[in-house]
Each structure stands twice: as structure tokens, then as C-alpha cells.
């Protein structure tokens, strides 16, 4: 099966059976048979082979990134085994969203460097979604819904949003009993663009569309919205990883009951459109073994459930809501 995947990927990339055969050092007839066997296994035509033209079918286009990921994972596994007896070394370039990078990625990388003193990390924190190939990035931490791509993605943690306000604000303005009540409150929102996916959306409310909340303060920086809420300016709908410290400290209070924490030791099957924290990297890069090492460390460091959710649970945050 691995040979068949290699043949399929090589033929697509080189746009030629003969070139793929020469690259892989196989006979052309062998490459053709392996692809025939792969198509039979999948029950779908991946390539249309004509005398002077090779066409990738829709099924082939959809299967191609998965084939690449399988081969990349295999190579990473080989590299990890080969490096068991040698200390990893060299430079890793990492990007992460600004606030998440500051709060969670930077401390995790500090611990990583203590475990691997011969590795250096160049960490860039920015909310810009960068092109990994153009910027020569080894690992990118991304929050939200991942678009379809050829990148290898590893889920690090779930991403849930918390409706929260300061005790002082709730004492002055009252406690919303249900999501629709937010329409009568000062809600702190983003300015200059559409709200991020999931903001002010609630299951079974408003047809799944964002509530048209309003407030006197709008800002394009979520960290600033967090601190404005702590100061009593209004209600926010921010990520669990951003609000956790303030909730544990009692500076903010969850307005509605929080969702129960996932505790399964088996990684559940995920919806591709799920909003989550992921680490992504390019397959086939020379640094992929070190990249995979860092990604495994991030997943271990954050934990499952992630430590920010456990901290809120330990503080009883899920129980502090309107009676």
C-alpha cells in the first residue's frame, strides 16, 4: 500500500507515469499496476490516463492531501525512531496567535527548551495567518477552524467560548438569564470587521446566527476586550484559554453554565469544521522530526483536558451563574 501511495503522489506531482517510475526506480508497468491496485482498494478512479494526457479526477484531488499526509507521517515516524539515540538539535521557527502565544505557547516552549537544550526556537506571535513555505515556518499554532490544505494538522485542545462579566458589572446591571437577554446589555465586540466564527452564537438561538448585541466599546484586540470586561465595561464572549485566569481569580464570572469538560482518554472523531487549537506543519520538511517533537510536547504540556479548563473547574467556575 505504501508503494502505491508513493506512486500515486509521484505521478500527480510529475504529471507523468514514466517520470514517476524513473524517480521511484520502478518499471512503468509496475507503477501502473500499483495505481490500479490502489484504485481498486478505494473503489474510485484517481487518474484518467490517456495517450498524451494524465488527468487527476475529483476523487484523486480529494485523496491527494490524505496520501501526502500518510506518507509524511510515515517519514516522521522513521525519523523519530532514528533520532532516539541522538539528541535533537538545530533551529525551529514557530508562529502562534498573539495572545495565545504569549499566554500558553511561550511558557510551553520554555519548558521544551529545558528538555532539549540543543534546540533553538524562533517564536513569532501574530494574528496574521502566514504562508509556512514562504516564511520557512516549521510549526504554526492556529486557533479556530482550519481551512482545507495539504498541511499536516494535530489537534492540541478544544476551543470553547465563555460569556463572562465582572462581578461589579453584574451587580450594577443584573444577570442575564438566557442568551437573548444579552441584547439588553453592554456587550464588548470587535470593531472594523465581522465577528470571529462562534462569537455571540448559541445553539438553538437566532437560527444559529450571531445575536445582534451592542455596546459602547468596540475593539480589534481581544486582550483589550478582556481587560475592559475585568474593569466592568461590559460582557465578553471570549475563548476559554483567554478568560481562564481572570475567572479563576474571580475578576470575571461565567454568565451562563459552562459546558462539561471532555474527559475521554480516547481521542474522539472530530468534525473537520470544528473550532479548536491546532498545530500545523508542512510534510516533507527537513525539520519535520523536530517539528513533530515540539508538537507532541505542546499537546502534553496543554493536557487533555487542557489545564486552563481544569483550573476553571477546580475554581468552581461552572457553578457560578445566575440562580
Report the C-alpha gap between 140 and 125 in whole angstroms.
10
- What CATH architecture is 161-257? 3-Layer(aba) Sandwich (3.40)
Residues in Cβ contact with 252 at an 8 Å cutoff, skipping those fewer than 6 apart? 164, 165, 166, 229, 230, 236, 243, 246
pTM over 0.85: no
Domain segments of the chain: what residues?
Answer: 1-83, 90-158+264-304, 161-257
Beta bridge partners of 201: none
H helix runs in 43-193, sequence order: 58-82, 98-100, 106-115, 132-135, 167-173
Report the C-alpha gap between 176 and 180 in whole angstroms.
8
Same fold? 90-158+264-304, 161-257: yes
Beta bridge partners of 139: 94
Q: What is the mean pLDDT of residues 75-86?
A: 62
H helix runs in 199-277, sequence order: 222-230, 240-248
Cβ 153 vs Cβ 146: under 8 Å: yes
In the prediction, which pLDDT does 266 show? 44
Burial class (CB in 10 A: 0-12, 13-18, 19+), 99: buried
Q: What is the pLDDT of residues 16-38, one digit of tens each?
A: 888 888 888 888 888 888 888 98
**Percentage of the chain modeled with pLDDT above 90:** 42
Q: In what order do the strands lie in the sheet with 161-165?
A: 236-239, 161-165, 253-254
The separation between CA 232 and the C-alpha centre of its own chain, rounded to angstroms, equals 31
Let me know how many helices (H) and strands (E) the chain has, helices first: 12, 12
Q: For domain 1-83, give its CATH number from 1.10.10.10, 3.30.428.10, 3.30.870.10, 3.40.50.300.
A: 1.10.10.10
In the prediction, which pLDDT does 263 show? 57
In the prediction, which pLDDT does 320 show? 53
pLDDT band, very low/low/confident/very high, at 321 (cuts 50, 70, 90) = low
In the prediction, which pLDDT does 149 show? 78
CATH fold group of domain 90-158+264-304: D-Maltodextrin-Binding Protein; domain 2 (3.40.190)
168-172, 221-225, 281-285: least confidently modelled range: 281-285
Residue 242 in grid coordinates? 483567554
Report the C-alpha gap between 240 and 211 in whole angstroms.
20
Cβ 125 vs Cβ 102: under 8 Å: yes
At CA 110, angle to CA 309 and CA 141, rounded to 5? 60
Q: What is the pLDDT of residues 189-225, one digit of tens each?
A: 988 666 677 789 888 888 888 899 999 999 988 899 9
First to last CA, the chain: 59
Amino acid at each position: 500500500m505504501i508503494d502505491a501511495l508513493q506512486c500515486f503522489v509521484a505521478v500527480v506531482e510529475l504529471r507523468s507515469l514514466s517520470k514517476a517510475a524513473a524517480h521511484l526506480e520502478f518499471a512503468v508497468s509496475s507503477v501502473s499496476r500499483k495505481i490500479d491496485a490502489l484504485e481498486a482498494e478505494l473503489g474510485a478512479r484517481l487518474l484518467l490516463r490517456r495517450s498524451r494526457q494524465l488527468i487527476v479526477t475529483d476523487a484523486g484531488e480529494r485523496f491527494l492531501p490524505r496520501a501526502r499526509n500518510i506518507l509524511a507521517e510515515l517519514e516522521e515516524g522513521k525519523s523519530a525512531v532514528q533520532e532516539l539515540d541522538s539528541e535533537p538539535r538545530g533551529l525551529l521557527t514557530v508562529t502562534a496567535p498573539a495572545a495565545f502565544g504569549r499566554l500558553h505557547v511561550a511558557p510551553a516552549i520554555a519548558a521544551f527548551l529545558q528538555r532539549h537544550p540543543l534546540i533553538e526556537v524562533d517564536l513569532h506571535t501574530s494574528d496574521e495567518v502566514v504562508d509556512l513555505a514562504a516564511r520557512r515556518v516549521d510549526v504554526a499554532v492556529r486557533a479556530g477552524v482550519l481551512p482545507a490544505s495539504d498541511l499536516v494538522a494535530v489537534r492540541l485542545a478544544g476551543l470553547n467560548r465563555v460569556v463572562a462579566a465582572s462581578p461589579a458589572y453584574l451587580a450594577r446591571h443584573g444577570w442575564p438569564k438566557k442568551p437573548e437577554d444579552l441584547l439588553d446589555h453592554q456587550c464588548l465586540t470587535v470593531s472594523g470587521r465581522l465577528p470571529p466564527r462562534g462569537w455571540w452564537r448559541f445553539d438553538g438561538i437566532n437560527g444559529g446566527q450571531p445575536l445582534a448585541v451592542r455596546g459602547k466599546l468596540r475593539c480589534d484586540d481581544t486582550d483589550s476586550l478582556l481587560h475592559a470586561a475585568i474593569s466592568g465595561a461590559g460582557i465578553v464572549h471570549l475563548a476559554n484559554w483567554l478568560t481562564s485566569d481572570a475567572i479563576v481569580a474571580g475578576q470575571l464570572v461565567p454568565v451562563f453554565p459552562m459546558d462539561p469538560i471532555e474527559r475521554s482518554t480516547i481521542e474522539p472523531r472530530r468534525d473537520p469544521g470544528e473550532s479548536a487549537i491546532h498545530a500545523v506543519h508542512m510534510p516533507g520538511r527537513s525539520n519535520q522530526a523536530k517539528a513533530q517533537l515540539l508538537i507532541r510536547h505542546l499537546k502534553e504540556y496543554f493536557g487533555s483536558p487542557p489545564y486552563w479548563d481544569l483550573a476553571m473547574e477546580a475554581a468552581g467556575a461552572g457553578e457560578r451563574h445566575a440562580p
